[in-house]
């Protein structure tokens, strides 16, 4: 802002930026036109028709149909343009492309914790490749924050106990500001960071040297250590629902209603298992409220997503090929104990997993 030219808007660095700016320009132009017009006429009339002026005053007009129609139709048309144009952008922003790359964000007083699907973690920084849609799944560990990238023209509240989504496609490599845009305590103003947009090959190089286990692998570990596996594998179908292919599935609940098993539902089922019981199961699962961090919950959900048939899911392509259940086949029955299997894929599909194959480096 210290340069000689005044900067009215942040840099345009995402596929949304130009569209949002044009709409904003339209809103500003309409407002400016009417503000200037109205103020101009007020001044003009108050001079022309001021007291003791000799100006000719026409007789009072009670109604003028043409004038009334005009001041109804013109503003209506102008505001419909705002509505339709705004809604079109809104829907675009609300529907991430199927091939989006997944990134998980956890807000916390006062930092942004970011997990990539391959397990790479960052704090207050997010590295992304240019020209590739990125979908953020965000939650908070404490209070409401708001994830705001001005150069991308995107912003969304990050809410404890819920998941919010945001997506973008960066169009220019560079480093951009990340802000928290919701007052969240004393160091709210320090809850800032950077989005680093890189060329694909630079990004691959950056991502490549991670030694962390992937999100799904970490989730699979949790699935065992937290004991989920003892009730949620296919051969123990009596105790808990089989989670094979759970993500994105239509689940019929006790009360007869049907719900799509996405992040929000899976999270609730972990923390308040009896809130939405699957039809045919009894309320015997303990709550994991307070026993898992938000990041661990995301890891578990990430693992459940890998158990989903490829045809119905989106995030799978971004998973490393070693991820479990990358290409689950419906006929494959997950088993509790290792037994001879025909293909390596089948081994990878097992919910409980074969101990050697599935145990990531500790």
Question: Which residues in this chain contact ligand CUA in the complex, by CB under 6 A?
Answer: 107, 110, 145, 180, 182-184, 188, 191
Among residues 160 and 309, whose Cβ is nearest to ligand CUA?
Answer: 160
Q: What's the burial of 261, exposed, middle or buried (CB within 10 Å: 0-12/13-18/19+)?
A: buried
Closest contact distance (angstroms) between CB of 96 and ligand CUA is 23
Of 17 and 126, nearer to ligand CUA (C-beta) is 126
Minimum CB–partner distance for residue 179 and ligand CUA (Å) = 8
From the CB of 290, what's the least distance to ligand CUA, in Å?
Answer: 22
Residues 292, 295, 300: CA angle, nearest 5 degrees: 75
Q: Does residue 216 come out as left (phi exceeding 0), alpha (psi in the -120 to 50 range) or beta?
A: alpha
Q: Check: CB of residue 178 under 8 Å from CB of residue 110.
A: no
What's the closest the beta carbon of residue 141 comes to ligand CUA, in angstroms?
11
d(CA 274, CA 188): 36
Whichever of 157 and 268 has its CB closer to ligand CUA, that residue is: 157
The helix or strand, by DSSP H or E, that contains position 148, with its residue range, turns out to be strand 145-149
Nearer to ligand CUA, 134 or 180 (CB): 180
User: Helices 17-48 & 65-94, crossing angle to 10 degrees?
Assistant: 160
Helix (H, G, I), strand (E, B) or coil at 140: strand
Give Cβ neighbours of residue 241 (< 8 Å, ≥ 6 apart): 232, 251, 278, 281
Q: Which is nearer to ligand CUA, 144 or 259 (CB)?
A: 144
- Tokens standing for 211? 């030694």
Task: Give the rounded distance of the alpha carbon of 219 from its chain centre.
Answer: 20
Shortest distance (Å) from residue 184 CB to ligand CUA = 3
| Per-residue three-class SS string for 56-112 | CCCCCCCCCHHHHHHHHHHHHHHHHHHHHHHHHHHHHHHCCCCCCEEEEEEEECCEE
Toward ligand CUA, which CB reaches closer, 193 or 273?
Answer: 193
Nearer to ligand CUA, 135 or 188 (CB): 188
């Amino acid at each position: 802002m210290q340069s000689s030219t005044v900067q009215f808007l942040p840099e345009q660095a995402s596929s949304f930026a130009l569209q949002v700016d044009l709409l904003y320009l339209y809103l500003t132009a309409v407002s400016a036109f009417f503000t200037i017009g109205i103020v101009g006429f007020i001044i003009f009339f108050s001079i022309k028709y001021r007291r003791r002026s000799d100006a000719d005053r026409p007789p009072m007009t009670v109604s003028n149909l043409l004038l009334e129609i005009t001041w109804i139709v013109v503003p209506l048309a102008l505001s419909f343009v705002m509505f339709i144009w705004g809604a079109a952008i809104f829907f675009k922003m609300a529907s991430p492309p199927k091939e989006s790359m997944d990134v998980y964000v956890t807000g916390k007083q006062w930092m942004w914790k970011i997990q990539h699907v391959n397990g790479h973690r960052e704090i207050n920084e997010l590295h992304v490749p240019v020209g590739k849609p990125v979908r953020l799944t965000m939650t908070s560990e404490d209070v409401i924050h708001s994830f705001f990238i001005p150069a991308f023209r995107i912003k969304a509240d990050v809410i404890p106990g819920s998941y919010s989504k945001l997506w973008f496609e960066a169009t220019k490599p560079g480093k951009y500001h990340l802000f928290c845009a919701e007052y969240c305590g004393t160091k709210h103003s320090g809850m800032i960071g950077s989005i680093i947009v890189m060329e694909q090959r630079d990004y691959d190089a950056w991502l490549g040297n991670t030694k962390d286990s992937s999100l799904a692998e970490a989730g699979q570990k949790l699935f065992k250590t937290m004991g989920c596996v003892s009730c949620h594998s296919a051969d123990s179908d009596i105790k808990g629902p089989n989670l094979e292919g759970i993500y994105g599935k239509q689940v019929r609940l006790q009360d007869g209603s049907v719900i799509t098993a996405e992040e929000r539902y899976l999270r609730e089922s972990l923390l308040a298992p009896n809130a939405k019981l699957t039809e045919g199961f009894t309320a015997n699962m303990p709550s994991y409220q307070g026993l898992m961090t938000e990041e661990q919950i995301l890891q578990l959900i990430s693992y459940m997503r890998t158990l989903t048939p490829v045809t119905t899911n989106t995030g799978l392509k971004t998973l490393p090929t070693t991820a479990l259940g990358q290409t689950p086949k419906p006929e494959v029955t997950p088993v509790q104990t290792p037994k001879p299997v025909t293909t390596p894929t089948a081994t990878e599909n097992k919910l409980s997993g074969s101990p050697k194959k599935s145990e990531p480096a500790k």
